[in-house]
Amino acid sequence: MTFKDVFKSSFLENVNSIPIFDMVFVLLLSFMVGMFIFWVYKKTYRGVMYSSGFGAALISLTMITTFVILAVTSNVVLSLGMVGALSLVRFRTAIKEPIEIAFLFWSIAVGIVLAAGLIPLAVIGSGLIGIVMLVFVNWNSYDDPYILMIICENQDIEKTVNDTLNTSVKKMILKSKSVAANQIELNYEVRLLDDNSEFINEIAGIEGVINTILVSYNGDYVG
């Protein structure tokens, strides 16, 4: 192959296969939809510590998927090479919240749909998904659970603590009980009455109660 043959190859012919205006327009639109996904994620986040990095990743993932699909749709040979390249990618970051998986797939899906030219589907679909996320993720259909840890001296004090809890909380479940010499450690899952935690002071004032701790609980962590 000579130098002249290189310039006759189909490589340079594909440079202008996608109009510049279309590329810029679709990428800007993917950025705007990605910002909307990021905003919904920020409004619906209920974890321990908010990560701005994950939110920025949602925007980047939307735009990256868009220009990758644009490149793939413009060249069949490139699409085969892209499949091989992406097969080498390995993701090691653990997803802590199940809802984050939905946001990742949402970003990828928007990028694919926009690059395919289905702009109304991407915009209207993202709007409807955002409304569903905002309504159902922030909708509390149950009382927030708490973990109550109590350390008392003996079984009689434990009975007094149980009687006090039965009249002070909406619901209580004994999760664990540890018995040692002159000490009993109790862990309850409780649902508060009108978010009132004043009963903790009453339990702490019972003679024979050594320590009391009340912490929020979401199933993944304590604190």
Spatial distance between the Cα atoms of 168 and 203, rounded to a whole number of angstroms: 10
Using CA atoms, how far residue 122 sits from 35, 61, 137, in Å, is 13, 15, 21
Q: Which domains does the chain have, with CATH numbers?
A: 3-137 (no CATH), 145-216 (3.30.70.260)
Task: Classify burial at 161, counting beta carbons within 10 Å of its beta carbon; exposed 0-12, middle 13-18, buried 19 or more.
Answer: buried
Query: Which pLDDT belongs to residue 78?
Result: 56
Q: Which amino acid is at 31?
A: F
Residues 6+ apart with CB under 8 A from 188: 147, 148, 149, 150, 165, 172, 173, 174, 175
Q: Is 182 left (phi over 0), alpha (psi -120 to 50) or beta?
A: left
Query: Which pLDDT belongs to residue 95?
Result: 64
Query: Which pLDDT belongs to residue 223?
Result: 38
Spatial distance between the Cα atoms of 165 and 142, rounded to a whole number of angstroms: 20
Query: Which pLDDT belongs to residue 56?
Result: 85
Query: Which pLDDT belongs to residue 178?
Result: 87
Query: Which pLDDT belongs to residue 32?
Result: 92
Spatial distance between the Cα atoms of 68 and 51, rounded to a whole number of angstroms: 26
User: Dihedral of the CA atoms 22, 24, 26, 31 (nearest 10)?
Assistant: 180
Query: Which pLDDT belongs to residue 36?
Result: 93
Q: For the chain, which ranges sit under pLDDT 50? A: 3-4, 6-8, 11-12, 15, 88, 220-223
Contact 169, 192 (CB under 8 A): yes
Where do we find the tokens 């009993």? 184
Q: DSSP string spanning 58-90?
A: HHHHHHHHHHHHHHHHH-HHHHHHHHHHHTT--
Contact 185, 151 (CB under 8 A): yes
Query: Which pLDDT belongs to residue 162?
Result: 86
Query: Which pLDDT belongs to residue 161?
Result: 86
- Residues belonging to the chain: 223
Using CA atoms, how far residue 169 sits from 73, 122, 156, in Å, is 60, 47, 20
Query: Which pLDDT belongs to residue 222?
Result: 39
Spatial distance between the Cα atoms of 157 and 154, rounded to a whole number of angstroms: 6
